[in-house]
Structure 1
Amino acid sequence: MYICPLCHSPLTAELQGYVCENSHRFDRAKEGYVNLLPVQHKGSKDPGDSPEMIQARRQFLDEGHYQPLRDHVADVLDEYLPVSSPPTIVDLGCGEGYYTSAWMKSDREVYGVDVSKFAIKSAAKRYPQIQFSVASGYRLPFASASLSAIIRIYAPSKGDELRRALCPGGILVTVTPAARHLYQFKSLIYQDVQLHEEKEEALEGFEYLLEKRLHYPLTLSASSATQLLQMTPFAWRTREEVWQTLAQCESFSCETDFKITVWRRTDE
């Protein structure tokens, strides 16, 4: 399934990792993952989420606050996944693997991809039955027309690259924040709070199949509220007094608001 990130030739599995016909080698880490993000494609020393962000997200997700989202996406995947033997699914921007594990069934091949080495290391240790790699959504390390489905929850990517990797009839399931997602956090941070702008994504070579909204309230402990804020882009703009307010509150109520969209790759 993997291709070389340097020359794009197929990678062959060896005992210690992978090698291509041009002798580019990629070792498998002791946790079981492979790093397919060459240094010239990284953009920074350690791209993606930090160990602190990964730990906060794992603790928050393990408490089940986003399980309704995971369940909804799993149901959509079951409904729209094309028939193939076996279906091959990639979780793009998989983080520490919380969502990825929900796509796993005995008749499926599941891969997780993230630019964060720390996230992939954590995911591979916890879910050894899934194949994880450090790679970019802009340069997927998979052969053309090889994937049955790509799940993209918030992850950046390039439409042309998604279409290249999906087989004809393969599906793309995306999750993006809808208008009122975490509105109460924004109220703590910004004086003039705006609803989240919902941009219509145009994907050439795909047909639109489904859009559904998932909206539900959360009541969080101080610890969980702090962890959630740390998971979001808002964390970089949050003043110290906001962190202190969250840390001292008995509970914090907020809204989740997600948009789930399904696309199918056309043959054209």
Structure 2
Amino acid sequence: MLTCPICSAALDDADNGVVCPLGHRFDRARQGYLNLLPVQHKNSRDPGDNQAMVEARRDFLNAGHYAPVAKRLAELAAHYAPQRWLDIGCGEGYYTAQIAAALPACDGYALDISREAVKRACRRDPGLTWLIASMARVPLPDASCQFIASVFSPLDWQEAKRLLSPGGGLMRVGPTNEHLMELRERLYDEVRDYADDKHLALVPEGMLLAHSETLRFTLNLVDGQARANLLAMTPHGWRASAERRASVVDQPEPFEVTVSMRYDYFILQ
């Protein structure tokens, strides 16, 4: 099912890796993933999230702080019951594993551009096909997926459209303007508003918004390490001043913060 990221021909299994008819070969890493990101498609030596960001997100998510977000995503994926699905921008695999558990009989793929993320993600479920790859050049054929998940990830809409079979859909999960509002108010003198629906202007012709909902709940972060992990896994970890970050991490009392996520499902007509 995989395609060569260099010539787009089909990839076949060969020893401990895959190869295309033109001889482009890609070995499987000892952790189980395939690196289908050629050096000419990289914009830096090690693109994507670094080890510190990946491990902070892994520890925060493993602690269950965003469990309702993953649970609802898995429920929606199960409702649409695809034959083949893809998590595009899978990170360290927390949400991917939840989708896989909800779709045990389906063919699952997951990719991210970050090697550090995929190295850790593939430990969650060895039954999935884990890939280091560009979301702008996904190594899968046209019309090969019935469900695509994009969770807190940049998205190439045209590439997503190419991958979907007719009637298939893309589930985009992203923050609303309320998300982490209390944290943002603590970190910045001025909190900038943004439109929750600005992504709708990017949807290609032929894709229709079929479902939209918002999940909102409050986190009570008692532990300073949890607050540090939350900062490290978001842009606030480098945008805000060290003094403001320390005021969040080191405060003795629990820190309450709003989680607000928007789920939008787009069907390819």
Q: TM-score, normalised by structure 1?
A: 0.94
Percent of residue pairs bearing the same amino acid type:
36
In structure 2, C-alpha distance between the alignment counterparts of 1:172 and 1:178, rounded to whole Å:
18
User: What is the letter of the counterpart of residue 255 of structure 2?
Assistant: F
Take 2:205 and 2:233, find their aligned partners in 1: how far apart are those partners?
A: 31
User: 1:208 corresponds to which residue?
Assistant: 209
1:102-251 equivalences in 2 (<5 Å) = 102-104=98-100, 105-198=103-196, 199-201=198-200, 202-220=203-221, 221-250=223-252, 251=254
Segment of structure 1 superposing worse, 105-114 or 200-209: 200-209
* Structure 2 partner of 1:253: 256
State the 1:234 CA deviation.
1.5
Structure 1 runs of 4+ with >3 Å offset: none
Residue 113 of structure 1: SS of its match in structure 2? strand
Please state whether the residue corresponding to 1:245 is helix, strand or coil: helix
The offset of 1:200, in angstroms, is 4.0
User: 1:89 matched to which residue of 2?
Assistant: 85
Q: Please report the TM-score for the alignment, with normalisation by the length of structure 2.
A: 0.94
Q: Deviations over 1:200-257 (max 9, x none)?
A: 4223221111000011111112111110111111212121112322231232111011
CA distance in 1, matches of 2:133, 2:47: 10
Over the aligned positions, Cα root-mean-square deviation in angstroms equals 1.2
Give, in whole Å, the separation in 1 of the partners of 2:91 and 2:167.
26
SS in 2 for 1:195: coil
Paired letter, 1:227 = N
Query: Residue type of the partner of 1:258?
Result: M
The equivalent residue for 2:95 is: 99
Unaligned runs of 5+ in 1: none
Secondary structure in 1 aligned to 2:37? coil
For residues 196 and 71 of structure 1, the distance between their equivalents in structure 2, rounded to whole angstroms, comes to 26
Answer yes or no: is the 8 Å Cα contact 2:187–2:245 preserved in 1: no
Deviates more, 1:123-132 or 1:251-260: 123-132
Show structure 2 runs of 5+ residues with no match: none
Q: Indicate the residue corresponding to 1:71 in structure 2.
A: 71
